[in-house]
A and B are shown apart, each in its own frame.
Chain A
Amino acid sequence: MSQPIVDPNLETLADLNVGDCYQCGKCSAGCPVASCMDILPNRLLRLVQSGHIEKALGAASIWKCVSCMTCTARCPKSVDCAGVMDALRQMAFERGLAPPARRRTVLFQKAFLDNIRRNGRLRELELVGTFKLKAFLGDGNLKALMKDSLLAPKLLRRSKLHFGGSRVSDRGVVDRIFARCRYSGNKDCPSNGTSK
């Protein structure tokens, strides 16, 4: 018998079937970023099963995950492993528990959602600008700030850069959707981090 799940939110987040995992390790074997994970996907599942949620929430792995869904597709017990990653990310984000070294990834996802909330559709240039500036203010990494500046003229030459970008006519509805979903966009990201 599998152990009960401690956090009831986990079960409601995505039909996750965490209790069904029997530790075959197929998720970790097929994971394209397993080599740079501190806690492998199958071990994260075990931590969740055994109630050690806090440890799972602090893992760098959950922010290294590229959401390729290979783990979910291959699980012989139909555990939605990628869904577990999502659930852990959301909880870690809301509680401000992401490790400082993964600050940039959290900042990026947050800048992406804030951008959509403002515009309804993604405005790429604005996303790059706000993300890079906030990341720089956090870690002072000048090289990362300047990195893609040479890309702009190349994109411009290919008509791939848009200063305006298309917006939806009713942006109010997007903002209301965010509010009703209780998106906690104002949570601070962990500070004093490094870029890698």
Chain B
Amino acid sequence: MIEVGYYPGCALHGSSNDYETSVRACLDKLGVSLRELDDWICCGATAAHSLNHKLAVALPARNLALAKRDGMHELLAPCPMCSMELHRANRALAACPQLRREISEIVELEVDGGTRVLNFIEVVQKVGLEEMTRKVVRPLADFRPACYYGCLLTRPPRDVQFDDCEQPGSMEAILAALGAAPVDWNYKTECCGAGMTLADEEIVLELSHKILSDAAAHAASCIVVACPMCHVNLDMKQADIERRFGVRHDLIVYYLSDLIGLALGIDERTLGIDRHFVVK
């Protein structure tokens, strides 16, 4: 059993709780136990780095400090917004003793920038693809997924240092190992509009429409994401997108943990797939 610290973030405890359901079921099957960070707070997301630079360091830093206090050396943040913010604070803190002192005072706990932050894909890699493949009971033979990374899993590369930010391939490797045939397509790392859904919906509809269209044009049978915001925009908003552009996409959007879970024999309900908007 591998034990990893767990930072759910607001989305996974809010309307993207289907992602949390899926991540927990999937990792449990893979022999990873999650220890949730006690009293975690919001990472500040786009709002903090847009309006107050110091908050954008302090809010994630408070969580890193809590992890350090509780002896967690590794922290899984399945939301790429959260993991990017945690990474960025980590790097800034590790590089500057003066900032560490200042932020430690601000967040009322000592921070050192030494916690290892992991996204969901990295935890699967930690288990190992071979180990994962040994547990497959239902290969994903009929799946031709378009793996969609979005922005913050791989960007900014200096901070997150994960995969290749122009041509990532970690999700394809996992899904191919499970028997699926990921398609080659063009919009892997284009933006879906992220958290602009409420403030500027038109941007989200337009960008997400391009992503869905390109996946369909490359004969994908579904889209796979590892981000709650990408899921909201491509799944929940898909009906709005279809109305706005007068098209029919009809593409199921899975979380990566859904497809791994299915291959490992977990049923759709346990994974929360029946709670998506676009269903079979």
A25 within 8 A of B: no
Would B275 and A168 count as touching, CB distance under 8 A?
no
Would B50 and A90 count as touching, CB distance under 8 A?
yes
Known: A89-B51, A168-B41, A180-B106. A82 touches B14 (CB 8 A): no
Which one of A86, A87, A155 has the highest number of Cβ atoms from chain B below 10 Å of its Cβ? Answer: A86
Instruction: Output the least CB separation between A169 and chain B (Å).
Output: 6
A177 within 8 A of B: yes
Would A182 and B54 count as touching, CB distance under 8 A?
yes
B183 within 8 A of A: no
Residue of A nearest to B204 (CB): A66
Distance of A86 Cα from B196 Cα, bound (Å): 15
Interface residues of B in 37-65 (CB under 8 A from A): 39-42, 44-56, 58-59, 62
A146 within 8 A of B: no
Would B203 and A116 count as touching, CB distance under 8 A?
no
A176 within 8 A of B: yes
Residue of B nearest to A32 (CB): B191
A154 within 8 A of B: yes
Within 8 Å by CB of A177, from B14, B40, B59, B194, lies B59
Instruction: Output the least CB separation between A147 and chain B (Å).
Output: 8
Would A177 and B46 count as touching, CB distance under 8 A?
no
Would B50 and A86 count as touching, CB distance under 8 A?
yes
Distance of A64 Cα from B200 Cα, bound (Å): 8
- Please give the number of chain B residues whose Cβ is less than 8 angstroms from any Cβ of chain A in the complex: 55
Distance of A69 Cα from B151 Cα, bound (Å): 7
Residues of A near B194 (CB, < 8 A) are 66-68
Known: A32-B190, A69-B156. A90 touches B53 (CB 8 A): yes
Q: What mask results when residues 168 to 187 of chain A are scored 1 for a CB within 8 Å of chain B, else 0? A: 11100110111011111000
Would B275 and A116 count as touching, CB distance under 8 A?
no
Would A69 and B207 count as touching, CB distance under 8 A?
no
A33 within 8 A of B: yes
Known: A66-B193, A86-B50, A109-B46. A73 touches B10 (CB 8 A): no
Distance of A80 Cα from B158 Cα, bound (Å): 10
Residues of B near A123 (CB, < 8 A) are 14
Which one of B48, B155, B189, B199 has the highest number of Cβ atoms from chain A below 10 Å of its Cβ? Answer: B199
Distance of A31 Cα from B10 Cα, bound (Å): 28
Within 8 Å by CB of B47, from A80, A112, A168, lies A112
Distance of A68 Cα from B143 Cα, bound (Å): 29
Distance of A160 Cα from B272 Cα, bound (Å): 11
Interface size class of A (residues with CB under 8 A): 35 or more
Q: What mask results when residues 47 to 86 of chain A are scored 1 for a CB within 8 Å of chain B, else 0? A: 0000000000000000010111110110000001010001
Distance of A84 Cα from B202 Cα, bound (Å): 24
Instruction: Output the least CB separation between A29 and chain B (Å).
Output: 13
Distance of A87 Cα from B48 Cα, bound (Å): 11
Would A177 and B53 count as touching, CB distance under 8 A?
no
Would A64 and B203 count as touching, CB distance under 8 A?
yes
Would A14 and B53 count as touching, CB distance under 8 A?
yes
Distance of A76 Cα from B40 Cα, bound (Å): 37
Within 8 Å by CB of B156, from A73, A158, A166, lies A73
Residues of A near B54 (CB, < 8 A) are 181-182
A43 within 8 A of B: no
Residues of A near B105 (CB, < 8 A) are 180
Would B42 and A116 count as touching, CB distance under 8 A?
yes
Would B42 and A68 count as touching, CB distance under 8 A?
no
B217 within 8 A of A: no
Q: What mask results when residues 257 to 280 of chain B are scored 1 for a CB within 8 Å of chain A, else 0? A: 000000000000000000111000
27 A-B residue pairs with CB within 8 Å: A64-B200, A66-B203, A66-B207, A67-B50, A69-B155, A72-B155, A72-B156, A73-B157, A89-B51, A109-B199, A116-B47, A116-B59, A131-B199, A132-B198, A155-B15, A158-B275, A160-B15, A160-B16, A161-B15, A162-B15, A165-B13, A173-B62, A173-B107, A173-B108, A177-B59, A177-B62, A177-B108
Q: Which 6 A-B pairs have the closest CB atoms?
A: A68-B191, A108-B199, A122-B10, A112-B47, A69-B155, A181-B54
Q: Which B residues form the contact surface with A (CB < 8 A)?
A: 10-11, 13-18, 39-42, 44-56, 58-59, 62, 105-108, 151-152, 154-157, 165, 189-191, 193-194, 196, 198-203, 207, 275-277
Additional A-B contacts beyond A89-B51, A104-B199, A120-B42 (5; CB < 8 A)? A33-B203, A66-B193, A109-B47, A128-B198, A154-B277
